[in-house]
A = this chain, B = another copy of it.
Amino acid sequence: MKRPTILVLGAGYGGLMTVTNLQKKLGVNEAEIVLINKNSYHYESTWLHEAAAGTLEPSEVRYDIKDVIDQSKVNFIQAEVTKIDVDEKVVLSTAGEHTYDYLVIALGFEGETFGIPGLEEHAFSIANVLAARRIRDHIEYQFSTWATEPEAERDDSRLTFVVGGAGFTGIEFLGELANQVPVWCDAYDVPREKVRVICVEAAPMVLPGFDPELVDYAVAQLESKGIEFSIGTPLVEATEEGVKIKTGEEEFKFIETKTVVWAAGVRGNRLIEETNIESARARVRVEPDLRAPGREDVFIVGDCAFMINEAENRPYPPTAQIAMQQGQQCAANIASLLAKKPTTAFVPDLKGSVCSLGSDDAIGVVFGKKVTGGTASFMKKMVDNRALFMVGGLGLTLKKGKFDLL
Decide if A140 is an interface residue (CB 8 Å cutoff): yes
Decide if A313 is an interface residue (CB 8 Å cutoff): no
Given contact pairs A59-B186, A130-B144, A137-B143, a sample of 7 additional A-B residue pairs in the complex whose CB atoms are under 8 Å apart = A39-B189, A130-B147, A133-B187, A137-B140, A137-B141, A137-B144, A140-B140
Decide if A58 is an interface residue (CB 8 Å cutoff): yes
Q: Which residues of B contact A186 (CB under 8 A)?
A: 59
Q: Are A134 and B130 in contact (CB under 8 A)?
A: no
Q: How far is the CA of A133 from the CA of B190 in the complex (A)?
A: 13
Decide if A138 is an interface residue (CB 8 Å cutoff): yes
Q: How far is the CA of A141 from the CA of B141 in the complex (A)?
A: 7
Q: Are A145 and B134 in contact (CB under 8 A)?
A: yes
Q: Which residues of B contact A145 (CB under 8 A)?
A: 134
CB<8 Å pairs between A and B, sample of 15: A58-B187, A130-B144, A130-B147, A130-B148, A130-B188, A131-B148, A133-B187, A133-B188, A134-B144, A134-B145, A137-B137, A137-B140, A137-B143, A138-B144, A141-B141
What is the CB-to-nearest-CB distance from A180 to chain B, in angstroms, rounded to a whole number? 14
Q: Which of B58, B138, B148 contacts A134 (CB 8 A)?
A: B148
Q: Are B130 and A59 in contact (CB under 8 A)?
A: no
Q: Annotate A206-231 by CB proximity to B: 1 below 8 A, 0 otherwise.
A: 00000000000000000000000000
Q: How far is the CA of A141 from the CA of B131 in the complex (A)?
A: 11
What is the CB-to-nearest-CB distance from A312 to chain B, in angstroms, rounded to a whole number? 37
Q: Which residues of B contact A143 (CB under 8 A)?
A: 137
Q: How far is the CA of A133 from the CA of B137 in the complex (A)?
A: 12
Interface residue range, chain A: 20 to 34
CB under 8 Å from chain B, chain A span 44-98: 57-59
Q: Which residues of B contact A59 (CB under 8 A)?
A: 186-187
What is the CB-to-nearest-CB distance from A132 to chain B, in angstroms, rounded to a whole number? 9
What is the CB-to-nearest-CB distance from A104 to chain B, in angstroms, rounded to a whole number? 24
Q: Which residues of B contact A188 (CB under 8 A)?
A: 58, 130, 133
List the 10 shortest-distance A-B pairs measured between CB atoms, nearest first.
Answer: A134-B144, A137-B141, A137-B140, A137-B144, A130-B147, A141-B141, A133-B144, A130-B148, A58-B187, A134-B148
What is the CB-to-nearest-CB distance from A404 to chain B, in angstroms, rounded to a whole number? 18
Q: Which residues of B contact A140 (CB under 8 A)?
A: 137, 140-141
Q: Which residues of B contact A141 (CB under 8 A)?
A: 134, 137-138, 140-141
What is the CB-to-nearest-CB distance from A93 to chain B, in angstroms, rounded to a whole number? 14
What is the CB-to-nearest-CB distance from A138 to chain B, in angstroms, rounded to a whole number? 6
Q: Annotate A131-159 by CB proximity to B: 1 below 8 A, 0 otherwise.
A: 10110011011011101100000000000
Q: How far is the CA of A144 from the CA of B144 in the complex (A)?
A: 17
CB under 8 Å from chain B, chain A span 143-193: 143-145, 147-148, 186-189
Q: Which residues of B contact A187 (CB under 8 A)?
A: 57-59, 133
Q: How far is the CA of A51 from the CA of B197 in the complex (A)?
A: 27
Q: Which residue of B lies closest to A131 (CB)?
A: B148
Q: Which residues of B contact A58 (CB under 8 A)?
A: 187-188
CB under 8 Å from chain B, chain A span 94-143: 130-131, 133-134, 137-138, 140-141, 143
Q: Which residues of B contact A134 (CB under 8 A)?
A: 141, 144-145, 147-148
Q: Which of B57, B133, B189 contacts A130 (CB 8 A)?
A: B189
Q: How far is the CA of A186 from the CA of B60 in the complex (A)?
A: 12
Q: How far is the CA of A147 from the CA of B57 in the complex (A)?
A: 16
Which interface residue of A130, A147, A186 has the most chain B CB atoms within 10 A? A130
Q: Which residues of B contact A137 (CB under 8 A)?
A: 137, 140-141, 143-144
What is the CB-to-nearest-CB distance from A27 to chain B, in angstroms, rounded to a whole number? 34
What is the CB-to-nearest-CB distance from A179 to chain B, in angstroms, rounded to a whole number? 16
Q: How far is the CA of A79 from the CA of B145 in the complex (A)?
A: 21
What is the CB-to-nearest-CB distance from A7 to chain B, in angstroms, rounded to a whole number? 24
What is the CB-to-nearest-CB distance from A130 to chain B, in angstroms, rounded to a whole number? 5
Q: Which residues of B contact A148 (CB under 8 A)?
A: 130-131, 134
